[in-house]
């Protein structure tokens, strides 16, 4: 045992010595919120990941980046931070200068489906995407990244990601204005974006270092912050805010802050989750963050002397079983390590009115359970699928792989729903849903025990759009799909998916429509318009009977299908002249297509079963 301890110490010392921390942390340039018509170019460029280091990464390596078209040459990795202001009308442009298709998804933003930037909003090489939308989010840290079908992971690995700051309202008598006056908010001075990622670098056949995407999680990964290896940041002598993004494609982090390179936590104050402020600040020694998640921290450096050193570390030995990024899932390559060094500067931070913690923030705005009109369960599974003649064992949702031509769920606009995420796999999956923010209501762990909400503020004390579901957990959340209703069409869909990007790219994703209750052209696989009319009620249907109003001089057939074409029920109807009731007991909740085939023609309509 003593030999093992000595070996562990030797390994730790080797790792700490190998981390030079000689690279200043780059702070991405900021596009101010006054620029509502900014223009991003998606470019091929080159970047040095270790400009002051002594290893092979101190060289120019081919990367992709988002570039501010008004300030070319200012980004060679990631993209500028973009500030939004609630209520502003935006008209961004995104021009694709890559040799392949891409998209630009506003992760966490509540926007219409046509402006979401998901896999349906493809930007072909040489084309420009120009959506227009209103900022309907308040006071949040979001991000933007590509979301093209099957290549999201490749593009994020090549460098395409950036922060979005939704700014606090100023000069208004509101809780958010009061918070703005309370917490640090000067970009790059006492309010810093921190984007944590890993990349794998290899030599190609010509001996050139390139970024390599791969499906495994084993070895030769380099940890980066804001696109730089082993960086340092000089922080002001006072209260500082960090907006933290796990922008990695695979790995979960277990973050902590230490005032020595020994991974012993000294604690920080967490003030926000993905979609905005929590109800108060919470002291965290360490914090799991899954791919796609954002949190905001406060740390008071005034307790230290100028020149003192602190570290942000990733303690993989503290990750929960099933979280990708620990020693097991990387076959021993990942170890506890420091990621970022803070050096306390001599300049004072802007004065802070905070003299003690916790601080009150804003009340939670979760809808009450009494408002729920529908309950859905999404089951995370691993099943065998035949892909191009090869049998693959793939993670999926509800036993289906992603199909852009299939609408998986139809949700009635302005409805409040309760969703349960049932993870039946042995891997933890971060679930992200587009369009809305949600509030976690309950977590049943692998032992069937309901977790204590007070012990998990990162789940229960703030709004979310991206949440980690551990193996054999059942996690429930409540949300309202308040607006942006459309007809049921595959190209009006929002996505829901695992944010481990190789899982997403290989099919662990589905899509849904927020339905406005109009239109009958619902099936992509059978787009023919109805040749006759019928009336179905009640719709939405929360009873065990569906009534059909119409006429047919002969027997007819009424069939109910899922949007993916699965037949749920087929009933032969007698000749009719007025109204006939059909038993729908047992039809699962959600949207369905009802087709009535008669000698006079075919009618088709959508029904929401609750």
Listing DSSP states for 70-111 in one string gives TSTTS-SSS--EEEEETT-EE--EEEE-SSS-B--EEET---
Helices and strands, counts by H and E, the chain: 5, 42
Domain assignments of the chain as residue spans, ordered by start: 15-348, 369-515, 535-609
Question: In the numeric block, which tokens belong to residue 190?
Answer: 């006492």
User: Once rounded to an integer, what is the mean pLDDT over residues 438-462?
Assistant: 97
| CATH superfamily ID and name for 15-348 | Cupredoxins -  blue copper proteins (2.60.40.420)
Domains 15-348 and 369-515 share a fold: yes
* Dist. CA 77–CA 64, nearest whole Å: 6
Q: 195-214: per-residue pLDDT in tens?
A: 999 999 999 999 999 998 87
Contact of 564 with 543, CB cutoff 8 Å? no
Contact of 406 with 563, CB cutoff 8 Å? yes
Question: In the numeric block, which tokens belong to residue 198?
Answer: 């890993």
* Dist. CA 272–CA 301, nearest whole Å: 20
Q: 384-417: per-residue pLDDT in tens?
A: 999 888 999 999 999 999 988 888 888 989 999 9
**Which residues have CB under 8 Å from 205's CB, separation 6+?**
none
* Dihedral (CA of 214, 216, 222, 223) sign: positive
Query: In DSSP terms, which residues pair with 45 in a beta bridge?
Result: 63
Question: In the numeric block, which tokens belong to residue 342?
Answer: 């803070």
Q: 138-156: per-residue pLDDT in tens?
A: 999 999 999 999 999 999 9
Q: 44-100: per-residue pLDDT in tens?
A: 999 999 999 999 999 999 999 999 999 999 999 999 999 999 999 999 999 999 999
* Fold designation for 369-515: Immunoglobulin-like (2.60.40)
Question: In the numeric block, which tokens belong to residue 109?
Answer: 């933003």
User: Once rounded to an integer, what is the mean pLDDT over residues 241-267?
Assistant: 96
* Dist. CA 348–CA 239, nearest whole Å: 9
**Sheet strands (E) in 171-237:** 191-203, 209-211, 221-225, 228-229, 231-237
Question: In the numeric block, which tokens belong to residue 20?
Answer: 């030079």
**Which residues have CB under 8 Å from 592's CB, separation 6+?**
410, 560, 561, 562, 563, 568, 606, 607, 608, 609
Q: 294-328: per-residue pLDDT in tens?
A: 999 999 999 999 999 999 999 999 999 999 999 88
pLDDT at 440: 98
Q: 552-607: per-residue pLDDT in tens?
A: 888 888 888 876 567 788 888 999 888 888 888 888 887 788 888 888 888 888 88
Closest CA to 441 of 407, 458, 410, 418: 418
Query: Beta-carbon neighbour count of residue 171 at 10 Å?
Result: 7
Exposure of 571 in the CB half-sphere (CA atoms within 13 A): 18
pLDDT at 528: 42
Contact of 278 with 366, CB cutoff 8 Å? no
* Dihedral (CA of 212, 213, 219, 223) sign: positive
Top CATH class, 535-609? mainly beta
pLDDT at 3: 38
* Dist. CA 141–CA 466, nearest whole Å: 12
pLDDT at 519: 59
| N residues, the chain | 610
User: Once rounded to an integer, what is the mean pLDDT over residues 230-244?
Assistant: 97
Helix (H, G, I), strand (E, B) or coil at 181: helix
Output DSSP code: residue 349: P
Higher pLDDT, 172 or 347: 347
């Amino acid at each position: 045992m003593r030999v093992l301890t000595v070996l562990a110490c030797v390994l730790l010392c080797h790792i700490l010595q190998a981390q030079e921390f000689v690279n200043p942390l780059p702070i991405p340039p900021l596009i101010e919120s006054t620029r509502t018509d900014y223009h991003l170019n998606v470019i091929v460029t080159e970047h040095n990941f270790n400009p002051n280091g002594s290893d092979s990464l101190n060289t120019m390596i081919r990367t992709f980046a988002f570039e501010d078209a008004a300030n070319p040459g200012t980004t060679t990795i990631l993209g500028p931070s973009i500030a939004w202001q609630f209520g502003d009308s935006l008209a961004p442009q995104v021009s694709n200068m890559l040799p392949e298709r891409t998209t630009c998804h506003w992760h966490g933003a509540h926007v219409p489906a046509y402006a979401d930037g998901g896999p349906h909003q493809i930007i072909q090489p040489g084309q420009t995407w120009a959506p227009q939308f209103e900022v309907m989010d308040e006071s949040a840290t979001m991000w933007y990244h590509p979301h093209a079908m099957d290549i999201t992971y490749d593009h994020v690995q090549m460098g395409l990601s950036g922060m979005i700051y939704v700014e606090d309202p100023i000069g208004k008598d509101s809780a958010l204005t009061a918070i703005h006056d309370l917490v640090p908010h000067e970009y790059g001075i006492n309010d810093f974006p921190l984007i944590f990622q890993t990349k794998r670098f290899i030599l190609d056949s010509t001996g050139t270092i390139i970024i390599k995407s791969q499906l495994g999680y084993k070895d030769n990964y380099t940890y980066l912050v804001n696109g730089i290896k082993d960086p340092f940041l000089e922080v002001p002598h006072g209260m500082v805010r960090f907006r933290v993004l796990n922008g990695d494609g695979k790995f979960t982090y277990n973050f902590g802050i230490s005032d020595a390179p020994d991974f012993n936590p000294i604690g920080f104050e967490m003030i926000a989750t993905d979609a905005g402020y929590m109800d108060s600040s919470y002291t965290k020694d360490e914090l799991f963050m899954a791919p796609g998640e954002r949190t905001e921290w406060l740390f008071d450096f005034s307790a230290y002397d100028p020149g003192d050193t602190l570290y942000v570390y990733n303690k993989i030995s503290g990750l929960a079983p099933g979280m990708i990024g620990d020693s097991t899932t990387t076959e021993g390559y990942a170890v506890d390590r420091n990621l970022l060094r803070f050096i306390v500067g001599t300049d004072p931070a802007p004065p802070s009115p905070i003299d003690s913690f916790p601080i009150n923030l804003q009340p939670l705005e979760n809808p009450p359970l009494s408002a729920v009109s529908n309950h859905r369960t999404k089951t995370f599974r691993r099943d065998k699928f035949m892909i191009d003649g090869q049998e693959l064992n793939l993670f999926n949702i509800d036993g289906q792989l992603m199909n852009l031509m299939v609408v998986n769920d139809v949700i009635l606009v302005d409805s409040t729903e309760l969703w349960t995420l049932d993870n039946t796999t042995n891997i933890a999956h971060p679930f992200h849903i587009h369009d809305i923010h949600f509030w976690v209501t309950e977590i049943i762990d692998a032992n069937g025990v309901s977790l204590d909400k007070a012990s998990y503020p990162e789940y229960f004390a703030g709004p979310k759009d991206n949440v980690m579901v551990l193996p054999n957990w059942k996690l429930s959340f409540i949300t309202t799909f308040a607006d942006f209703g459309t007809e049921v069409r595959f190209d009006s869909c929002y996505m829901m998916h695992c944010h481990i990007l190789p899982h997403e790219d290989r099919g662990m994703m589905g899509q849904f429509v927020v339905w406005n209750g109009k239109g009958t052209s619902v099936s992509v696989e059978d787009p023919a318009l109805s040749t006759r009319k019928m009336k179905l009620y009640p719709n939405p249907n929360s009873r065990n009977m569906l009534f059909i109003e119409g006429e047919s001089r002969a027997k007819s057939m009424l069939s109910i299908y899922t949007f993916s074409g699965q037949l749920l029920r087929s009933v032969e109807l007698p000749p009719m002249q007025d109204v006939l009731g059909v038993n729908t007991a047992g039809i699962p909740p959600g949207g369905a297509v009802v087709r009535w085939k008669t000698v006079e023609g075919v009618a088709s309509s959508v029904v929401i079963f609750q």
